[in-house]
Amino acid sequence: MTEDGVEQMLALAERLRASNGGMLDDSAVQAVAEATGAPVEYVRLAVKLRSEKETQSFLTKLRSQYLTLEPHTRRFVVSGASATMCALFDVAAARAQFSIQNDQNASSPGALFSIVSLVWLTLGLYNVCVTRDSKTGAATGAVFGASFFIARAMFQFALQMPASYSYNPSLIVLFTVFGALAGLGLQRMTDRYRKPLGLRDPLKERQDLLRQLVDLQDKLKSGEQSCTFLSVDIVGSTKMKANADPLAVEFTFNEYHNFVERTVKRYGGRVHSTAGDGVTAAFDHPSHAFGAARNIQAGLMELNAFRNKIGQPIELRQGIHTGTVVAPDATDVTSLNFSHVIDVAAHFQKAAPVGGIAVSDPAGSFLPGGLASIGNERLLVSGVEGTVWIPKVISLNPSVTPPPLPGQI
């Protein structure tokens, strides 16, 4: 899975978790997986790692760890925990009752402990009822029965209860089987009367979540478009400014930026950003970017002759690359702040010779005449191949007599 795909997956997961009150349960995880094409376990792991990087309280971390477990594993964990707490308060109630028998004047919270034990028992039964299939329901009930028996025996030993309060160890099988049968019956009954009971249908909930994810994905991709970026930079601009008059520098570089912007607009482009003396422009088609780049290079002669007041000629390097970008505002590519396509165009610009234009193959393949219309010099930048365009310089041979001017014949 690509880096962009991972970021898209995490963005969908985060938005869905925010819309669901900060929770990302199994239905949401599966919906994210289907919407992005990523494996379910990969989504779980990615969300878990993202959660671990955030500053969280202990309870929040515990909750995040719980939500990354498999659905049936979560049911088993809740079943075991509720059975353990039910056993604890059941033994505590028995211990309180035993204290009253030995001391008639002693007050005891045994009734309260019994009520709390029933609350945990109710939670365990609810956990069994909401399981998704009969097999998981039976297994969850069996875990509850076995956990209750084992926990009760441990707490009886810890609180030094008399042997008369203990169960025969062989009864653990009976508790486990009874729990499994009870879990199976409760799950089937709940599944049959799920709608009258007001419980959510897992399948319908998953479909709703998937529909939300598809809508979010469409919104995120609404700004997806193919775009060509031209990166232009002056060679040795720092040295040029160092020994020149500040007013001359300001005038010359303002004229330079105006010249580049006019040329970009003439070819249907937009200035995306400027950084120092560098300019990045966006175009809808590579041929427009290539035409603007050549025109900028050709117009330097006039710029240096009439509007350069520094005393040193301006020389440029240019790079062009094409790719798919996702702009926050689909109608304005200048709203795009970060993109791999822009970075590659800048890398090609740095690799271009002075006065040349480095064109990546993804951009050059769309030019009239293809890559052959650019030049013969090849280069490899950031894993992307390209071709260098160099302006043709016409040199006159002094030994050849130029043709006579009109009127000299």
In angstroms, the CA 299 to CA 307 distance is 11
Instruction: State the pLDDT at residue 121.
Output: 93
Q: pLDDT-based confidence at 340, cuts 50/70/90?
A: confident
Q: Please check the confidence at residue 313 and state whether its pLDDT lies above 80.
A: yes
- Predicted TM-score (pTM) above 0.75: no
Angle at the Cα of 362 from the Cα atoms of 358 and 368, rounded to 5 degrees: 80
> Which residue has better confidence, 378 or 48?
378
Query: pLDDT for 278-307, tens place per residue?
Result: 999 999 999 999 999 999 999 999 999 999
Nearest to 269 by CA among 320, 341, 304, 234: 320
Query: pLDDT for 207-260, tens place per residue?
Result: 777 777 777 666 656 567 889 999 999 998 888 888 889 899 999 999 999 999
> Which residue has better confidence, 29 or 55?
29
Query: pLDDT for 88-113, tens place per residue?
Result: 998 888 888 777 666 555 556 778 88
In angstroms, the CA 392 to CA 389 distance is 9
In angstroms, the CA 289 to CA 272 distance is 13
| % of residues, the chain, pLDDT over 90 | 40
Q: Please check the confidence at residue 399 and state whether its pLDDT lies above 50.
A: no
Instruction: State the pLDDT at residue 400.
Output: 41
Q: Please check the confidence at residue 190 and state whether its pLDDT lies above 90.
A: no
Most confident range (mean pLDDT) of 56-60, 336-340, 345-349 is 345-349
Mean pLDDT (the chain) is: 80
> Which residue has better confidence, 56 or 373?
373
Instruction: State the pLDDT at residue 210.
Output: 73
Specify the long-range contacts of residues 214-222, CB closer than 8 Å, at least 24 apart. 214/35, 216/12, 216/15, 216/16, 217/8, 217/12, 217/35, 217/36, 220/8, 220/11, 220/12, 220/326, 221/326, 222/330
